[in-house]
Amino acid sequence: MAKIDNIRCQKILDSRGNWTIETKVILDDGSVGVQPVPSGASVGENEAVYVDVDKASDFVSTTINDVLVGKNPADQKLIDETLIKIDGTSNKGRIGANSIVSVSLACARAAAQSSGVELYQYLSFIFSGKQKLSGELKFPTPIFNIINGGEHAKNRLSFQEFMVIPALNIPYNKALQMGSVIYKDLKNLLLDEDFETGVGDEGGFEPRELSARTALDFLEKAASVQYDPGNDVFFGLDIAAGSFYRNGKYLISEENLSLSSDEVIDYYEKLFSDYKIIYLEDPMFERDEFGWTKFFKRNSKKYMIVADDLVVTNPKILERISKEKMVSAVIVKPNQIGTLTETFEFIKIARKAKMDVVISHRSGDNPDSFISDLAVAVDAEFIKSGAPARGERVAKYNRLLEIFYGF
């Protein structure tokens, strides 16, 4: 196998116009792996820590380069263990999770190119020891965030994402078409009622003066123009409750509500019962584990209850949470933990606990499609990449189309 010849890093802009880094791993056979780094606006308390982009770029080009040159990029576990050792902290706060994840994923890309296989095939071999063939592929159901709120928009909505989800039996290409059609129908409905159709960080519309109920009404109307909600399309929300939790209360500002843990659960149950909702992400603040447990006990048969901030792609946290009855699915974001090896470990723990896997982008992203190959490699049930609009969102969906058609 080829060896690492050089590792370079540069600053680039992400989809929000903020600086991030992009790493290039060059092998001695000429193979190259390039990996930009995304970032989130809504960040869990226990996510691995980013460092300043100038420092991150310098760490990659000097410290990390000096240690990894000459090593085998296909030995992913060794690469990642070395990166963790270089950092030497529990939260990757010295050289930064942004430095580490860019190198970890770029090494995988370079090794895949050197091996002459598609990235999803290479990743599946690392994950399961078996390289997927075209006839063995399972495609994730796309979850489209088409109304933005919370930290992703400049409106009053407390909840962060209002999403449409095609039925699980619909082929990926048809599911993508459904998302595009509903997105356009929603835009027309908003215009008909004189709402703005500017978009938020993830490409969803961010109309002002909506409540959660009126946003859900718009979703239902848009989905009903050409489809049948509850049959071939369903709804989901990323509530991102941590973003409106203050001093023991859940503050739903657009309705002037200040609710306890018990009260917000009652509020959710009353509101969501009127819609064809199957997916609820981060309904409780990450440290409100009493609330998580109670919500799961009362609602796990109605909804897929999904954890993001609660688990932050951290295997140690998920190992503990998986022993409790709190969640039925988990979000996977490699940049939350920093290395591909730890990401795979997290997914394996989720599988052992019979949890669904949702591979996800970040709100500050790039026209990069690593997560699309990752979703196929690990047989993820779902993928989140925002609205079917904006280049950095569509890149993920289009990469899945390439794999789907064998293009």
Helix axes 340-352, 97-115, angle to 10 degrees: 90
Q: Is 206 helix (H, G, I), strand (E, B) or coil?
A: coil
173 lies in some domain: yes
287 and 349 both lie in a single domain: yes
Phi-psi sector, 135: left (phi>0), alpha (psi -120 to 50), beta? alpha
174 lies in some domain: yes
In order along its 407 residues, the chain shows pLDDT tens digits of 899 999 999 999 999 999 999 999 999 999 999 999 999 876 788 999 999 999 999 999 999 999 999 999 999 999 999 999 999 999 999 999 999 999 999 999 999 999 999 999 999 999 999 887 767 899 999 999 999 988 877 788 999 999 999 999 999 999 999 999 999 999 999 999 999 999 989 999 999 889 999 999 999 999 999 999 999 999 999 999 999 999 999 999 999 999 999 999 999 999 999 999 999 999 999 999 999 999 999 999 999 999 999 999 999 999 999 999 999 999 999 999 999 999 999 999 999 999 999 999 999 999 999 999 999 999 999 999 999 999 999 999 999 999 999 97
CB-neighbour burial class of residue 220 (10 A; exposed 0-12, middle 13-18, buried 19+): middle
328 lies in some domain: yes
- Alpha helical stretches, state H, 197-327: 212-224, 261-272, 289-299, 315-321
107 and 51 both lie in a single domain: yes
Domain that holds residue 27: 4-116
Task: Report which secondary-structure segment, H or E, holds 383.
Answer: strand 382-384
How many beta carbons lie within 10 A of that of residue 63, not counting itself? 15
Residues catalogued as catalytic:
202, 333
CATH value at residue 21: 3.30.390.10
Residues 6+ apart with CB under 8 A from 141: 165, 166, 168, 170, 172, 175, 381, 382, 383
User: Which of 42, 106, 127, 89 is closest to 348 using CA atoms?
Assistant: 127
31 lies in some domain: yes
Residue 91 identity: N
pTM across the whole model = 0.97
230 and 287 both lie in a single domain: yes
Structurally, the chain folds into a number of domains equal to 2
> What is residue 60's DSSP assignment?
I
User: Cβ distance 151 to 240 under 8 Å?
Assistant: yes
112 and 139 both lie in a single domain: no
313 and 372 both lie in a single domain: yes
Of 83, 116, 149, the position where a domain reaches its end is: 116
101 and 139 both lie in a single domain: no
CATH value at residue 369: 3.20.20.120
91 and 141 both lie in a single domain: no
33 and 94 both lie in a single domain: yes
65 and 38 both lie in a single domain: yes
**312-340 pLDDT tens trace:** 999 999 999 999 999 999 999 999 999 99
205 and 295 both lie in a single domain: yes
82 lies in some domain: yes
Of 85, 116, 147, the position where a domain reaches its end is: 116
Of 89, 116, 143, the position where a domain reaches its end is: 116
129 lies in some domain: no
287 and 229 both lie in a single domain: yes
326 lies in some domain: yes
124 lies in some domain: no
- Over pLDDT 70: what percentage of the chain? 99
108 and 163 both lie in a single domain: no
User: Cβ distance 308 to 280 under 8 Å?
Assistant: no
